Structure 1
Amino acid sequence: MNRRVLTPRNRGFLFLDSHPAGCRQLVADMWQSCPAPADVPEGAGPVALVIGSSAGYGLAATLAGLKRAGIRGIAVSFEKAPTERRTATAGWYRTAATADIARAAGRDMVFLNGDAFSDAMKDQVADLVEQRFGGRLDYLVYSVAAPRRTDPVTGATYASVLKPIGRANRTKTLVFDDEGVPEVREAETGPAEGDDVEQTVAVMGGADWERWIDHLAGRGLLANGFATAALSYIGSSLTAAMYRQGTIGAAKAHLEATARALNERLDRTVGGRAVTSVNGAAVTQSSTAIPGIALYTGLLRGVLGEGMVPPVRQLAALWDQLTGAAPLALDDEGRIRLDAWELTDEVQTAVAGRWETATTDTIADLADLDWFRAEVRRLYGFSVPGIDYTAAVATDVPWPDHTS
């Protein structure tokens, strides 16, 4: 068994190794912080599929679904196994921990590792729904953030980019040096060129979500009343040029258009529903890559403190609405809004004021930097309370076995 003492090694917000015990404890903490469980007898919960289940809001959707809604079913993610030289990805360890929690809770949950964009994975999931879960799927939550996608029909590979549309964007951004000292810089990103928008929409838009629905419907696996939600984000006007008005925003607009088309179709065919769920800000492996988002999130925490709503509580609210435990609350665009706590005028005015005065000299007084740094490290299993990081830990944790 490969046992090592692991210390964080990083390049900016990207860490080279992950800590298995820290990732396990992080998942356990999320489970504990999820609101009280649903009263669902063992083996009687709805059958759900979570695509993109190992990180961020997808992980929160999986844990909240297991605890709050009593789901059973399938979770799909794409993670790297441990090697002699490197640990597994953090999502690998988080998935192993989630599988143990599901088993202890009496929830039959299968965890698959592979390319969610591929037809092979869609076939594998459909086979499991048919053979293991009674041939009917009640819910599908789609939470995929990927750098590229290969179309299984044409074989074309598309790559997503983070760029503004129309003109270059200059924004404040937050970085940390090798010693962890914060610096507020100006970052300029050139505008989308050529087919950047189309490429990003092909990866991050609704095309694959719709293919999943097509595939499952084609096998006759959608239950009456089937509901599906794709997870999204809108965010603040402070980050809009790079996010909602940029290439990623174009993909999110396509995702929402897909939801409207799917909603009409599902209502007609199975009395079902499709929505996008707009979540609030959080520190995730995807969000830290977007210029300006780190600074904004740190300032938001500085304003709200414990008033920030963690992902697992947001996703518990989503499951309540999907299952009918709470009324379905949609905005004028047909979206479930879980971000109201973030986008009030009072909060946004306070964050904007801090944004204007944020410099390297003032940032420590304006943002909760200790929280932000710890949140980034916790994405990889470091800085998790209760873990002895001086102790050697086994890194060759197996992927959950679903054959039993």
Structure 2
Amino acid sequence: MNERVIDRPRSRGFLFLDSHPAGCRQVVADMWEAVAAPTAPPPADGPVALVIGSSAGYGLAATLAGLKRAGIRGIGICFEKPATARRTATAGWYRTAATAELARAAGRDFVFLSGDAFSDEVKEQVAELIAERFGGKLDYLVYSVAAPRRTDPETGTTYASVLQPIGEASCTRTLVFDDAGAPAVREVRTAPAAEEGIAQTVAVMGGADWERWIEHLAGRGLLADGFATAALSYIGSPLTEALYRKGTIGAAKAHLEATARTLDKRLSELVGGRAVTSVNGAAVTQSSTAIPGIALYLGLLRGVLGERLVPPTAQLSELWDQLTGVSPLRLDEEGRVRLDTWELTDEAQAALAERWQAATTENIGQLADLEWFHGEVQRLYGFAVGGVDYGAPVATEVPWPGQPA
């Protein structure tokens, strides 16, 4: 078994080239502990759920909260890479291994697959597992996919998403760190997207693949009576809307929400089911850190709210409570579950806008919680995690769950 010391991360901006197995394991353990236990222990034969995008961000939070709070069994899908002679495995690989251990310890039969969730091959593999291992009926599907590209299984066309405003160029403030970790506030100008870029982003990040999943499983007769599905989404602040909600990603999110309304009607008629989008609050994730302006926004948000910032595990625990009937399903006028209201209060947004305009490289340390933000970015890859000895050798070749060591 390959062991080596990984005492510090190698990174290019917010992209880390290695991850720390023990650190990733501890991050998952900390998230598990943060999920509040249900009032009554869930039964061993809990509902069958499929989480698509189970290894990172809100998808990981959905998996952990579902296992501990809702007692789900079922399947998690992600796309991760094992360790090589030169590189560690991806952080999601190690997080998945840790999640599988917690599921086993809790007595939950939960299978993890690493593959292209956009492909029909993976959809059929999941369908076979539901039919053969989980009684032939799926109760819940949580869709949490953030990918730069998608290949359409029918046409073979590969679409690539772009991160651009629509209509006119945008100039947004953003936060960067140099190699020594020193912060700087800068402005980034982004040209407007062409129609082709908008269409391709919608094809990747809109609702097409979510709908294809539902069609495939329904076609196999695998949806239980009362089946419910939720696609995770984000709206965000007016401060970031030019590049996000009013940009190409926003067009994809609008398509996702329109897909939810179509699916909701169909599922209601088919199995008495529901389809919703869940609008979550801001969080430091591997996807969000790639968006200009989001790093600055998140640091300032934490500076304003402090411990009132609601972590993904708490938000997804609330989503599971609503999906499973522990608490009522609360929807806005667009039919969306809103888990972001704590972020978008008038008070919080006014304070954020004031700090956003005032922020400079010289004063950003007083306006934003940079220590928290920088730590959260490192934690995505298993670094800066309390209780981990980074000077000790660690095994990098961790088997995928279900494979022999």
TM bucket by the smaller chain? Answer: over 0.9
Q: Indicate conservation of the 8 Å contact 1:17/1:87, yes or no.
A: yes
Aligned to 1:252: 253
Question: What amino acid is aligned across from residue 230 of structure 1 in structure 2?
Answer: A
Q: For residues 315 and 92 of structure 1, what CA distance do their matches in structure 2 show?
A: 21
Q: For residues 400 and 111 of structure 1, what CA distance do their matches in structure 2 show?
A: 7
Aligned to 1:3: 3
Q: Indicate conservation of the 8 Å contact 1:167/1:190, yes or no.
A: yes
Q: For residues 335 and 177 of structure 1, what CA distance do their matches in structure 2 show?
A: 39
> 1:122-271 residue pairs with structure 2 within 5 A?
122-271=123-272
Question: What amino acid is aligned across from residue 217 of structure 2 in structure 1?
Answer: L
How many Å apart are 1:383 and its aligned residue? 0.2
How many Å apart are 1:13 and its aligned residue? 0.3
How many Å apart are 1:35 and its aligned residue? 1.1
Q: For residues 138 and 307 of structure 1, what CA distance do their matches in structure 2 show?
A: 33
Provide the aligned length of Structure 1 versus Structure 2: 403
Aligned to 1:394: 395
Q: Indicate conservation of the 8 Å contact 1:3/1:394, yes or no.
A: yes
How many Å apart are 1:43 and its aligned residue? 2.9
> 1:5-404 residue pairs with structure 2 within 5 A?
5-6=5-6, 7-37=8-38, 39-401=40-402
Q: Indicate conservation of the 8 Å contact 2:42/2:69, yes or no.
A: no
Question: What amino acid is aligned across from residue 92 of structure 1 in structure 2?
Answer: W
Question: What amino acid is aligned across from residue 361 of structure 1 in structure 2?
Answer: E
Question: What amino acid is aligned across from residue 209 of structure 1 in structure 2?
Answer: W
Q: Map Cα deviations across residues 122-146 of structure 1 (whole Å, 9 max, x no partner).
A: 0000000000000000000000000
Q: For residues 228 and 185 of structure 1, what CA distance do their matches in structure 2 show?
A: 40
Three-state SS of the structure 2 residue aligned to 1:167 is coil
Q: For residues 247 and 130 of structure 2, what CA distance do their matches in structure 1 show?
A: 37
Q: Indicate conservation of the 8 Å contact 2:175/2:293, yes or no.
A: yes
Q: For residues 289 and 246 of structure 2, what CA distance do their matches in structure 1 show?
A: 18
Three-state SS of the structure 2 residue aligned to 1:120 is helix
Q: For residues 402 and 197 of structure 1, what CA distance do their matches in structure 2 show?
A: 41
| Structure 1 unaligned regions, length at least 5 | none
Question: What amino acid is aligned across from residue 378 of structure 1 in structure 2?
Answer: R
Q: Map Cα deviations across residues 268-314 of structure 1 (whole Å, 9 max, x no partner).
A: 11000000000000000000000100000000000000000000010
Three-state SS of the structure 1 residue aligned to 2:129 is helix
How many Å apart are 1:44 and its aligned residue? 1.4
Three-state SS of the structure 1 residue aligned to 2:126 is helix
Cα RMSD (Å): 0.9
Question: What amino acid is aligned across from residue 100 of structure 2 in structure 1?
Answer: A
Q: For residues 309 and 36 of structure 2, what CA distance do their matches in structure 1 show?
A: 15
How many Å apart are 1:402 and its aligned residue? 7.1
Q: Indicate conservation of the 8 Å contact 2:42/2:70, yes or no.
A: no
- Alpha carbons of 1:210 and 1:290: their partners in 2 closer, same or farther (altered >3 Å)? same
Deviating beyond 2 angstroms after TM superposition, the runs of 4 or more aligned structure 1 residues are 37-43
Q: Indicate conservation of the 8 Å contact 2:174/2:185, yes or no.
A: yes
Q: For residues 204 and 391 of structure 1, what CA distance do their matches in structure 2 show?
A: 40
Q: For residues 167 and 394 of structure 1, what CA distance do their matches in structure 2 show?
A: 50
Q: For residues 214 and 123 of structure 1, what CA distance do their matches in structure 2 show?
A: 12
Q: Indicate conservation of the 8 Å contact 1:38/1:69, yes or no.
A: no
Q: Indicate conservation of the 8 Å contact 1:78/1:115, yes or no.
A: yes
Three-state SS of the structure 1 residue aligned to 2:30 is helix
- Alpha carbons of 1:126 and 1:151: their partners in 2 closer, same or farther (altered >3 Å)? same
| Structure 2 unaligned regions, length at least 5 | none
Question: What amino acid is aligned across from residue 298 of structure 1 in structure 2?
Answer: G
Q: Indicate conservation of the 8 Å contact 1:38/1:70, yes or no.
A: no
Q: Map Cα deviations across residues 169-224 of structure 1 (whole Å, 9 max, x no partner).
A: 10100000000000000111111014000000000000000000000000000000
Q: Identity of aligned pairs, percent?
A: 75
Q: For residues 381 and 222 of structure 2, what CA distance do their matches in structure 1 show?
A: 36
How many Å apart are 1:42 and its aligned residue? 4.9
- Alpha carbons of 1:364 and 1:72: their partners in 2 closer, same or farther (altered >3 Å)? same
